[in-house]
């Protein structure tokens, strides 16, 4: 049985990956500080599994991390722990540096010591996977970003993730530490924190409130279903070459307004309201330094490891809308952490559908 240390495993992508591991009969040590986007409700149904152990704590706590590594001796570390929201990084950049850069550094230092102390067989099979983002490549006008593209981050968030990637890569070059880095496109799916574009649009529409859209709504992103992302991560852990980076893309480039219209149309089919949902769309001034387009080339992952996305955007979005409709209690409780003065059931204030 493989033992995984998952950091940030109560967040959106992390908890979906934890589920994948548990149902594949792996053992998971789940470390999460439970900041605003960490949610124990995401893990409630996993409490029956003895193979899942949750620890509340920070990757910035080197003593705790070292203790957990010594006690549980994981074969794989996957670092999902991060502050991830661009708007929050504009307001509080220092928090992003503290978690995404310093935290990754603390985690790497403890993991290196742990790896160096493993017997030969365990050392050879050990992997450290850093979960990063396509935003490190910056905005591109044409084509797609490859693993060899220049890093040009344009927000405090993406700059902090770029810095973390450089640290991870440096540990491989300096110490031979067996690292892997993934740069994924925009994820969507169940249990996503509702400050993100798709869940926030769904919840705002259901509450009959304005779905505010930055600028002209023509900013383009590639969308990746979280289930496909988890499949890719398993392929990379099992067969990826240490020291390498792998782009993970969904082959589903859409403008923000196209995404919002698709959500509205999906809701119209299953829960029509007193007015068309598209009427709730409202354009607002653009975000400072808003990147126009991201698009990654995942050819390396597809050719080396045989992974391709299996969920179309249309099918994945329909499934996602259905999940939020069926899980109103989760939505209401989670929305309170975004906007504690309101609840989904009583209406949501005019707040932006941020990406």
Residues that are catalytic: 134-135, 157
> CA 84, 35, 170 angle in degrees (round to 5)?
50
Q: What is the Cα–Cα distance from 83 to 80, expressed in whole angstroms? A: 10
How many CB atoms are closer than 10 A to CB 274? 5
The DSSP letter of residue 29 is E
In whole angstroms, give the CA distance from residue 243 to residue 97: 23
CA pair distance 189, 116, nearest whole angstrom: 38
Burial tier of 72 (Cβ tally within 10 Å: 0-12, 13-18, 19+): middle
Residue 277 CB coordination number (10 Å): 24
Where are the alpha helices (H) located in 52-148, listed in sequence order? 62-72, 86-91, 93-96, 104-116, 120-125
Q: Dihedral through CA 191, CA 309, CA 52, CA 69, nearest 10?
A: -110
Instruction: Indicate the DSSP class of residue 35.
Output: -
């Amino acid at each position: 049985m493989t033992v995984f240390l998952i950091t940030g495993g109560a967040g959106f992508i992390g908890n979906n990956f934890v589920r994948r591991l548990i149902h594949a009969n792996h053992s998971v040590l789940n470390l999460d500080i439970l900041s605003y986007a960490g949610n124990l409700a995401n893990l409630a149904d996993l409490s029956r599994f003895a193979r899942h152990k949750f620890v509340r704590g920070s990757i910035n706590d080197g003593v705790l991390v070292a203790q957990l590594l010594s006690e549980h001796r994981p074969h794989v570390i996957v670092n999902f722990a991060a502050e991830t929201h661009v708007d929050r990084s504009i307001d509080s950049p220092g928090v992003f540096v503290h978690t995404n850069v310093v935290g990754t550094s603390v985690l790497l230092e403890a993991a290196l010591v742990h790896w160096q102390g493993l017997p030969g067989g365990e050392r050879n099979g050990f992997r450290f996977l850093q979960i990063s983002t396509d935003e490190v490549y910056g905005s591109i006008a044409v084509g797609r970003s490859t693993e060899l593209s220049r890093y040009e981050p344009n927000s405090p968030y993406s700059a902090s993730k770029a810095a973390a990637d450089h640290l991870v890569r440096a540990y491989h070059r300096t110490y031979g530490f067996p690292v892997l880095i993934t740069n994924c496109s925009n994820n969507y799916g169940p249990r996503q924190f509702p400050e993100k574009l798709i869940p926030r649009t769904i919840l705002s529409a259901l509450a009959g409130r304005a779905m505010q859209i930055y600028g002209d709504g023509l900013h383009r992103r590639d969308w990746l279903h979280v289930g496909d992302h988890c499949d890719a991560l398993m392929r990379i852990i099992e067969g990826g070459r240490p020291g390498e980076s792998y782009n993970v893309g969904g082959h589903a480039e859409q403008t923000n307004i196209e995404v919002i219209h698709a959500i509205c149309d999906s809701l119209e089919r299953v829960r029509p309201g007193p007015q068309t949902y598209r009427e709730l769309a409202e354009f607002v001034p653009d975000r400072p330094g808003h990147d126009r387009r991201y698009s990654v080339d995942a050819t390396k992952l597809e050719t080396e490891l045989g992974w391709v996305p299996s969920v179309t955007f249309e099918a994945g979005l329909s499934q996602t809308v259905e999940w939020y409709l069926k899980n109103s209690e989760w939505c209401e409780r989670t929305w309170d952490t975004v906007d504690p003065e309101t609840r989904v059931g009583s209406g949501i204030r005019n707040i932006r559908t941020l990406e």
